[in-house]
Homo-oligomer: A and B are copies of this chain.
Amino acid sequence: MALTPARTMPGVLELLPLDQIAFQRMLDTIRRNYERFGFLPIETPVIEHSEVLLTKTGGETERQVYFVQSTGALNAADKEPGGVPELALRFDLTVPLARYVAEHEHDLSFPFRRYQMQRVYRGERAQRGRFREFYQCDIDVIGKDSLSVRYDAEIPAVIYSVFRELNIGAFTIQLNNRKLMRGYFENLGVADAEQQMLVLREVDKLDKRGPDYVRDTLMGEAFGLSADATAKILDFVQVRSTSVADAFAKLDALGSGSETFEQGRAELKEVLALIRDYGVPEAFFALNLSIARGLDYYTGTVYETTLNDHPGIGSICSGGRYENLAGQYTKSHLPGVGISIGLTRLYWQLRDAGLVSTAQSTVDVLVTQMDAAQLPAYLAVANELRAAGIATEVVLEGGKLGKQFKYADRAGIRFVIVLGEDEIAKGVVTVKDLRREDQFEVTRADLVKTLRVELAQAEIGR
């Protein structure tokens, strides 16, 4: 029989076990922090009705959707060429959240703090660093009718807690406010909402294309802005703060403006001050008036987070405040604020930059086998360890002891237990610490206690 090539489709990240453990530890850290701040878990189906997924979006997003058909539906579709299949894979977690909140509105308590950590799917062209399947780890707070701007300060507090614990180096949560931006542009004569969007889109290219390109575009035919207005816009988007006091001073230095502008400024000040009250050190958040984010979705605070020593990685966590989550599914007004970590890409980039490494195994201890007749004794030791919560593997098929040690080493297992005739007679076990290249003897009675201490120390040192 001819063999079928064993391969995954391009654009997915499939990991070897020890890397999967490292990835899982990141997922666990994120989840633990989301829960610590009172966010509740939900999971939604990967497959949704196409009409649900595609109500609002179009163009770019629609072309990237994966449609789904069972064999029966596939045959039916042949008869109806050009028809869009009924089902599709979700391309983000925001549209499913909107559908979820609209569907279960009467069973939820508002403000509804939810977290969701699942994979999403995009039919991207295959390209290094572009994934067709990737994890998003989202939090959102959804209000009914209204939602205080105070929640806009809670989101960065959660993000600070997550990234501090992920231990991937210094980072800065950068904030802006879409009202402030829009108001500022109105002041400069860019009053039309559509035109503002287009200016914001150009401003969004500042990092990629540079100020000269953006200046030329804004003063060119398409926009026709004056040199003065263009300069003011470029000054504006270059504002960064070094502390809350500095942020306040820089916001005040922008002069007075329209009602929208003043509202944006007041919101930013309240949010910045409150983030500090949340205990986030001032080195970890800053004003960055160049951040515009999505063009028609966010309406107030917007966030991006970057690693100070790895700016090339770009934003590792982005989001913002939106006016109405689920207008396409319900008449209820549901304002919200949220943020998303694209963990698959982040993990891949961090690994590339040497900031995460292959984990030690989840297996703490390997019980070796010297003599098959003693298997019940080995299993009894393993039982004790497992009952104490120590993950333990037993060698069930013997072989040379050296080979068993090599297996443990290769598998990333730190502690190896040897239980030979001598040890059994003396009521002790020999523990080899493969990391420290050390070994010690311990009585059976003290084994669990001793290993617990060693493992707790290893956990701290990690």
12 contacts between A and B (CB under 8 A): A6-B330, A7-B49, A8-B44, A9-B45, A9-B48, A21-B40, A38-B392, A63-B71, A67-B70, A68-B68, A72-B123, A74-B85
In the complex, how many angstroms separate the beta carbon of A151 from the nearest chain B beta carbon?
A: 6
The answer to whether the Cβ of A410 comes within 8 Å of any Cβ in the partner chain is yes
Shortest CB distance A75–B (Å): 8
Cβ A328 vs Cβ B4 within 8 A: yes
Query: In the complex, what residues of B have CB within 8 A of residue A150's CB?
Result: 375, 396-397
Q: For window 325-371 of chain A, which residues contact chain B by CB distance below 8 Å?
A: 326-331, 361-363, 366
A277 touches B71 (CB 8 A): no
Nearest CB of chain B from residue A139's CB, rounded to whole Å: 13
State the 3 A-B residue pairs at the shortest beta-carbon distance, nearest first. Answer: A38-B393, A70-B123, A6-B102
Interface residues of A in 90-118 (CB under 8 A from B): 98-100, 102-104, 107-109, 111, 113-114
Contact across chains for A67 and B74 when beta carbons are under 8 A apart: yes
Bound Cα distance from A72 to B391, whole angstroms? 47
User: Are A7 and B52 within 8 A (Cβ)?
Assistant: yes
A interface residues with partner B (beta carbon < 8 Å): 1, 3-9, 12, 14-18, 20-21, 24, 35-38, 40-49, 51-52, 55, 62-74, 78, 81-82, 85, 87, 89, 98-100, 102-104, 107-109, 111, 113-114, 119, 121, 123, 132-133, 147-148, 150-151, 154, 161, 274, 277-279, 326-331, 361-363, 366, 375-376, 379-380, 383, 386, 389-394, 396-397, 407, 410-411
| Most chain B CB atoms below 10 A, which of A17, A20, A63, A72 | A17
